[in-house]
């Protein structure tokens, strides 16, 4: 099972760590360049992406006895991930304080990191 594979769990942890680091870097840059509202917006956008992806990762990596059950869990986890994302953005929208371009940029950065980390890991394995 993939879920029991330590390498898969390490990869998931690396992805989440890279998403958190990316969010913090973007927020810090926003704070220095543009101010507090933009920094908080970056934290909100990156945080929404990180929380949604963490739920998806933890749910998908739980061991399952059969392929049908694993697929069902994966599909449900994806649905919850989308709901968490939409819900998080709706909560931020209610406050009417966010800088949406920055929020969306930080959110998109977490998605980019989700794909980048495994690609870099594959390239490192091939080179080594």
Q: How sure is the predictor about 7, in pLDDT bands with cuts at 50, 70 and 90?
A: confident
pLDDT reading at 1 higher than 50: no
In this predicted model, what pLDDT tens digit does every residue of 88-121 receive, in sequence order? 999 999 999 999 999 999 999 999 999 999 999 8
Q: How sure is the predictor about 125, in pLDDT bands with cuts at 50, 70 and 90?
A: confident
pLDDT of residue 117: 95
Are the C-beta atoms of 55 and 79 separated by less than 8 Å?
Answer: no
Q: Determine the Cα–Cα distance for residues 42 and 22; give it in Å rounded to an integer.
A: 10
| Cα dihedral 52→2→15→6 (10° resolution) | 130
The closest alpha carbon to 9, from 55, 57, 53, 77, belongs to 57
In this predicted model, what pLDDT tens digit does every residue of 26-58 receive, in sequence order? 999 999 999 999 999 999 999 999 999 999 998
Q: Where are the domains of the chain?
A: 2-127
Q: How sure is the predictor about 84, in pLDDT bands with cuts at 50, 70 and 90?
A: very high
Specify the pTM. 0.89
Calculate the average pLDDT of the chain: 92
pLDDT of residue 3: 57
């Amino acid at each position: 099972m993939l879920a029991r594979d330590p390498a898969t769990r390490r990869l998931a942890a690396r992805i989440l760590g890279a998403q958190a680091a990316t969010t913090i870097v973007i927020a810090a840059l926003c704070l220095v360049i543009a101010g507090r509202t933009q920094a908080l917006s970056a934290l909100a956008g990156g945080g929404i992406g990180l929380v949604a992806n963490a739920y998806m990762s933890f749910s998908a990596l739980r061991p399952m006895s059969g392929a049908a059950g694993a697929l069902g869990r994966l599909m449900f986890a994806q649905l919850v991930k989308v709901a968490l994302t939409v819900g998080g953005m709706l909560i931020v929208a209610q406050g009417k304080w966010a800088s949406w371009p920055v929020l969306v940029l930080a959110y998109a950065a977490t998605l980019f990191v989700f794909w980048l980390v495994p690609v870099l890991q594959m390239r490192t394995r091939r080179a080594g």
